Chains A and B, each alone.
Chain A
Protein backbone atom coordinates (compact mmCIF):
# COMPACT_ATOMS: atom_id res chain seq x y z
CA UNK A 1 0.00 0.00 0.00
CA UNK A 2 2.86 2.35 0.85
CA UNK A 3 4.54 1.45 -2.43
CA UNK A 4 1.35 2.40 -4.30
CA UNK A 5 1.24 5.78 -2.57
CA UNK A 6 4.88 6.54 -3.32
CA UNK A 7 4.46 5.50 -6.95
CA UNK A 8 1.30 7.59 -7.28
CA UNK A 9 3.04 10.72 -6.09
CA UNK A 10 6.07 10.01 -8.29
CA UNK A 11 3.89 9.61 -11.39
CA UNK A 12 1.78 12.63 -10.42
CA UNK A 13 4.95 14.71 -10.19
CA UNK A 14 5.97 13.46 -13.66
CA UNK A 15 2.55 14.30 -15.10
CA UNK A 16 2.26 17.79 -13.62
CA UNK A 17 5.92 18.72 -14.08
CA UNK A 18 5.87 17.57 -17.68
CA UNK A 19 2.63 19.46 -18.28
CA UNK A 20 3.97 22.70 -16.82
CA UNK A 21 7.18 22.47 -18.86
CA UNK A 22 5.11 21.70 -21.97
CA UNK A 23 3.26 24.99 -21.79
CA UNK A 24 6.19 27.15 -20.62
CA UNK A 25 9.13 25.99 -22.74
CA UNK A 26 10.36 28.47 -25.35
CA UNK A 27 11.56 25.82 -27.77
CA UNK A 28 8.82 23.65 -29.27
CA UNK A 29 11.07 20.56 -29.29
CA UNK A 30 11.58 20.91 -25.54
CA UNK A 31 7.80 21.20 -25.18
CA UNK A 32 7.40 17.95 -27.11
CA UNK A 33 9.94 16.16 -24.88
CA UNK A 34 8.14 17.43 -21.76
CA UNK A 35 4.87 16.20 -23.23
CA UNK A 36 6.43 12.73 -23.63
CA UNK A 37 7.40 12.78 -19.93
CA UNK A 38 3.87 13.83 -18.96
CA UNK A 39 2.25 11.13 -21.11
CA UNK A 40 4.58 8.47 -19.69
CA UNK A 41 3.48 9.57 -16.22
CA UNK A 42 -0.14 9.10 -17.28
CA UNK A 43 0.77 5.62 -18.55
CA UNK A 44 2.23 4.81 -15.12
CA UNK A 45 -1.01 5.95 -13.49
CA UNK A 46 -2.93 3.57 -15.78
CA UNK A 47 -0.72 0.75 -14.51
CA UNK A 48 -1.46 1.74 -10.91
CA UNK A 49 -5.17 1.66 -11.76
CA UNK A 50 -4.82 -1.85 -13.22
CA UNK A 51 -5.61 -0.76 -16.77
CA UNK A 52 -2.78 -2.68 -18.42
CA UNK A 53 -4.21 -2.51 -21.94
CA UNK A 54 -4.52 1.27 -21.79
CA UNK A 55 -0.96 1.44 -20.44
CA UNK A 56 0.32 -0.33 -23.56
CA UNK A 57 -1.90 1.73 -25.86
CA UNK A 58 -0.77 4.94 -24.21
CA UNK A 59 2.91 4.17 -24.74
CA UNK A 60 2.58 2.79 -28.28
CA UNK A 61 0.09 5.34 -29.57
CA UNK A 62 0.99 8.54 -27.74
CA UNK A 63 4.68 8.22 -27.06
CA UNK A 64 5.33 6.30 -30.26
CA UNK A 65 2.82 7.72 -32.72
CA UNK A 66 1.57 11.17 -31.82
CA UNK A 67 4.90 12.41 -30.53
CA UNK A 68 6.62 11.33 -33.73
CA UNK A 69 3.98 13.29 -35.66
CA UNK A 70 4.57 16.36 -33.50
CA UNK A 71 8.35 16.15 -33.86
CA UNK A 72 8.08 15.75 -37.65
CA UNK A 73 5.84 18.82 -37.91
CA UNK A 74 8.16 20.83 -35.66
CA UNK A 75 11.04 19.98 -37.99
CA UNK A 76 8.91 20.69 -41.06
CA UNK A 77 7.75 24.17 -40.09
CA UNK A 78 10.54 26.55 -39.27
CA UNK A 79 10.25 27.52 -35.61
CA UNK A 80 13.64 29.19 -35.10
CA UNK A 81 12.17 32.64 -35.54
CA UNK A 82 9.25 31.94 -33.21
CA UNK A 83 11.50 30.86 -30.37
CA UNK A 84 13.02 34.33 -30.11
CA UNK A 85 9.67 36.09 -29.87
CA UNK A 86 7.01 36.64 -27.27
CA UNK A 87 5.62 33.22 -26.31
CA UNK A 88 2.35 34.16 -24.65
CA UNK A 89 -0.55 36.08 -26.11
CA UNK A 90 -1.25 39.60 -24.82
CA UNK A 91 -4.45 38.60 -23.06
CA UNK A 92 -2.80 36.04 -20.79
CA UNK A 93 -4.06 37.81 -17.66
CA UNK A 94 -7.67 37.32 -18.78
CA UNK A 95 -6.95 33.68 -19.63
CA UNK A 96 -5.31 33.03 -16.25
CA UNK A 97 -8.22 34.70 -14.45
CA UNK A 98 -10.74 32.56 -16.34
CA UNK A 99 -8.78 29.39 -15.58
CA UNK A 100 -8.50 30.40 -11.91
CA UNK A 101 -12.28 30.76 -11.73
CA UNK A 102 -12.80 27.33 -13.32
CA UNK A 103 -10.18 25.84 -10.98
CA UNK A 104 -11.92 27.31 -7.94
CA UNK A 105 -15.19 25.87 -9.18
CA UNK A 106 -13.72 22.37 -9.64
CA UNK A 107 -12.00 22.56 -6.25
CA UNK A 108 -15.26 23.56 -4.60
CA UNK A 109 -17.16 20.69 -6.22
CA UNK A 110 -14.46 18.16 -5.28
CA UNK A 111 -14.44 19.49 -1.71
CA UNK A 112 -18.21 19.34 -1.36
CA UNK A 113 -18.51 15.94 -3.01
CA UNK A 114 -15.51 14.27 -1.37
CA UNK A 115 -17.70 11.97 0.75
CA UNK A 116 -19.51 10.65 -2.31
CA UNK A 117 -16.34 8.94 -3.53
CA UNK A 118 -15.88 6.82 -0.41
CA UNK A 119 -19.02 4.88 -1.32
CA UNK A 120 -17.43 4.02 -4.63
CA UNK A 121 -14.25 3.04 -2.81
CA UNK A 122 -16.04 0.23 -0.96
CA UNK A 123 -16.50 -1.63 -4.23
CA UNK A 124 -12.77 -2.07 -4.70
CA UNK A 125 -12.51 -4.78 -2.10
CA UNK A 126 -14.25 -7.39 -4.26
CA UNK A 127 -12.64 -7.82 -7.65
CA UNK A 128 -15.44 -9.57 -9.49
CA UNK A 129 -13.88 -10.60 -12.77
CA UNK A 130 -10.34 -11.19 -11.58
CA UNK A 131 -10.28 -14.44 -13.54
CA UNK A 132 -10.46 -12.51 -16.80
CA UNK A 133 -7.54 -10.34 -17.82
CA UNK A 134 -7.93 -6.61 -18.30
CA UNK A 135 -7.50 -6.84 -22.08
CA UNK A 136 -10.00 -9.66 -22.28
CA UNK A 137 -12.67 -7.75 -20.35
CA UNK A 138 -12.05 -4.65 -22.45
CA UNK A 139 -12.38 -6.63 -25.68
CA UNK A 140 -15.58 -8.29 -24.43
CA UNK A 141 -17.15 -4.93 -23.75
CA UNK A 142 -15.77 -3.29 -26.90
CA UNK A 143 -16.90 -5.96 -29.33
CA UNK A 144 -20.33 -6.65 -27.86
CA UNK A 145 -21.82 -3.69 -26.04
CA UNK A 146 -19.92 -0.96 -27.89
CA UNK A 147 -19.66 -2.52 -31.34
CA UNK A 148 -21.41 0.33 -33.18
CA UNK A 149 -19.34 3.10 -31.54
CA UNK A 150 -16.26 1.01 -32.30
CA UNK A 151 -17.13 0.90 -36.00
CA UNK A 152 -17.89 4.62 -36.00
CA UNK A 153 -14.49 5.23 -34.43
CA UNK A 154 -12.83 3.27 -37.22
CA UNK A 155 -14.72 5.37 -39.77
CA UNK A 156 -13.55 8.50 -37.93
CA UNK A 157 -9.94 7.34 -38.21
CA UNK A 158 -10.39 6.70 -41.94
CA UNK A 159 -11.79 10.20 -42.42
CA UNK A 160 -8.93 11.64 -40.37
CA UNK A 161 -6.32 9.84 -42.47
CA UNK A 162 -7.85 11.05 -45.74
CA UNK A 163 -8.32 14.54 -44.31
CA UNK A 164 -4.73 14.80 -43.09
CA UNK A 165 -3.35 13.70 -46.47
CA UNK A 166 -5.61 16.10 -48.41
CA UNK A 167 -4.76 18.94 -46.05
CA UNK A 168 -1.00 18.50 -46.18
CA UNK A 169 -0.79 17.85 -49.94
CA UNK A 170 0.47 20.69 -52.07
CA UNK A 171 -1.84 19.99 -55.02
CA UNK A 172 -4.60 17.40 -55.10
Chain B
Protein backbone atom coordinates (compact mmCIF):
# COMPACT_ATOMS: atom_id res chain seq x y z
CA UNK B 1 0.00 0.00 0.00
CA UNK B 2 1.44 3.35 -1.07
CA UNK B 3 1.84 6.03 1.60
CA UNK B 4 -0.49 8.98 1.17
CA UNK B 5 1.20 11.87 -0.62
CA UNK B 6 0.12 15.33 -1.68
CA UNK B 7 -1.06 14.06 -5.04
CA UNK B 8 -3.65 11.85 -3.33
CA UNK B 9 -5.15 14.90 -1.70
CA UNK B 10 -5.07 16.81 -4.99
CA UNK B 11 -6.91 14.03 -6.82
CA UNK B 12 -9.51 13.84 -4.04
CA UNK B 13 -9.96 17.60 -4.10
CA UNK B 14 -10.33 17.63 -7.89
CA UNK B 15 -12.97 14.90 -7.65
CA UNK B 16 -14.91 16.84 -5.01
CA UNK B 17 -14.66 19.99 -7.13
CA UNK B 18 -16.11 18.17 -10.14
CA UNK B 19 -18.94 16.68 -8.06
CA UNK B 20 -19.78 20.16 -6.79
CA UNK B 21 -19.66 21.62 -10.31
CA UNK B 22 -22.03 18.94 -11.59
CA UNK B 23 -24.40 19.82 -8.74
CA UNK B 24 -24.28 23.54 -9.49
CA UNK B 25 -24.85 23.06 -13.22
CA UNK B 26 -27.55 20.37 -13.21
CA UNK B 27 -29.73 20.64 -10.10
CA UNK B 28 -32.96 22.62 -10.28
CA UNK B 29 -33.41 23.11 -6.55
CA UNK B 30 -31.54 26.24 -5.45
CA UNK B 31 -30.96 24.93 -1.92
CA UNK B 32 -29.00 22.00 -3.37
CA UNK B 33 -27.12 24.38 -5.69
CA UNK B 34 -25.98 26.36 -2.62
CA UNK B 35 -24.88 23.09 -0.96
CA UNK B 36 -22.88 22.22 -4.08
CA UNK B 37 -21.10 25.57 -3.79
CA UNK B 38 -20.11 24.57 -0.25
CA UNK B 39 -18.68 21.33 -1.70
CA UNK B 40 -16.60 23.32 -4.21
CA UNK B 41 -15.22 25.63 -1.51
CA UNK B 42 -14.32 22.62 0.64
CA UNK B 43 -12.45 21.09 -2.30
CA UNK B 44 -10.39 24.27 -2.53
CA UNK B 45 -9.71 24.10 1.22
CA UNK B 46 -8.44 20.51 1.01
CA UNK B 47 -6.03 21.68 -1.68
CA UNK B 48 -4.78 24.62 0.41
CA UNK B 49 -4.30 22.57 3.57
CA UNK B 50 -2.59 19.73 1.69
CA UNK B 51 -0.02 22.14 0.25
CA UNK B 52 0.35 23.82 3.63
CA UNK B 53 1.25 20.43 5.09
CA UNK B 54 3.56 19.46 2.23
CA UNK B 55 5.51 22.71 2.20
CA UNK B 56 5.47 23.01 5.99
CA UNK B 57 4.10 26.53 5.67
CA UNK B 58 1.20 27.81 7.74
CA UNK B 59 -0.01 30.38 5.17
CA UNK B 60 -2.11 27.81 3.35
CA UNK B 61 -4.17 27.27 6.47
CA UNK B 62 -4.59 31.03 6.90
CA UNK B 63 -6.04 31.17 3.40
CA UNK B 64 -8.31 28.25 4.25
CA UNK B 65 -9.63 30.31 7.18
CA UNK B 66 -10.44 33.15 4.78
CA UNK B 67 -12.15 30.76 2.38
CA UNK B 68 -14.30 29.45 5.25
CA UNK B 69 -15.23 33.05 6.14
CA UNK B 70 -16.30 33.67 2.55
CA UNK B 71 -18.30 30.45 2.51
CA UNK B 72 -20.18 31.49 5.64
CA UNK B 73 -20.97 34.96 4.24
CA UNK B 74 -22.05 33.43 0.95
CA UNK B 75 -24.35 30.92 2.63
CA UNK B 76 -25.98 33.56 4.83
CA UNK B 77 -26.64 36.02 1.99
CA UNK B 78 -27.59 33.28 -0.47
CA UNK B 79 -30.17 31.77 1.85
CA UNK B 80 -31.52 35.27 2.64
CA UNK B 81 -31.98 35.89 -1.10
CA UNK B 82 -33.61 32.48 -1.41
CA UNK B 83 -36.18 33.29 1.29
CA UNK B 84 -36.97 36.68 -0.32
CA UNK B 85 -37.32 34.96 -3.69
CA UNK B 86 -39.59 32.26 -2.34
CA UNK B 87 -41.80 34.90 -0.77
CA UNK B 88 -42.20 36.72 -4.10
CA UNK B 89 -42.16 33.94 -6.69
CA UNK B 90 -43.26 30.86 -4.68
CA UNK B 91 -40.57 28.73 -6.28
CA UNK B 92 -37.08 27.42 -5.53
CA UNK B 93 -36.45 26.01 -9.01
CA UNK B 94 -33.46 27.54 -10.72
CA UNK B 95 -34.95 27.45 -14.24
CA UNK B 96 -38.15 29.22 -13.20
CA UNK B 97 -36.35 32.24 -11.79
CA UNK B 98 -35.99 34.30 -14.94
CA UNK B 99 -36.81 37.83 -13.78
CA UNK B 100 -33.91 39.26 -15.81
CA UNK B 101 -34.91 37.47 -19.03
CA UNK B 102 -37.36 38.85 -21.55
The answer to whether A124 touches B49 (Cβ under 8 A) is no
* Smallest CB separation, A48 vs chain B (Å): 8
Work out how many contacts link A and B, with CB atoms closer than 8 A: 239
Partner of B28, one of A89, A114, A126, A167: A89
Chain A interface mostly: helix
Knowing A4-B3, A12-B12, A121-B5 are in contact, say whether A49-B29 is a contact too (CB < 8 A): no
Cβ < 8 Å to B, chain A residues 10-61 = 12, 15-16, 19-20, 22-23, 25, 28, 31-32, 35, 38-39, 42, 45-46, 48-51, 53-54, 57-58, 61
Cβ < 8 Å to A, chain B residues 68-91 = 68-77, 79-84, 86-87
What are the residues of chain A within 8 A of B35 when measuring CB–CB? Answer: 22-23, 31-32, 35, 70
Chain B contributes a number of interface residues (CB within 8 A of A) equal to 74
Partner of B27, one of A35, A79, A88, A127: A88
Chain B interface mostly: helix
Partner of B2, one of A5, A120, A166, A170: A5
21 pairs from A and B in contact (CB 8 Å cutoff): A4-B3, A15-B16, A23-B32, A35-B38, A38-B16, A54-B65, A62-B68, A66-B71, A82-B29, A88-B28, A89-B25, A110-B14, A117-B54, A124-B56, A140-B58, A145-B59, A145-B62, A156-B70, A157-B72, A164-B77, A164-B79
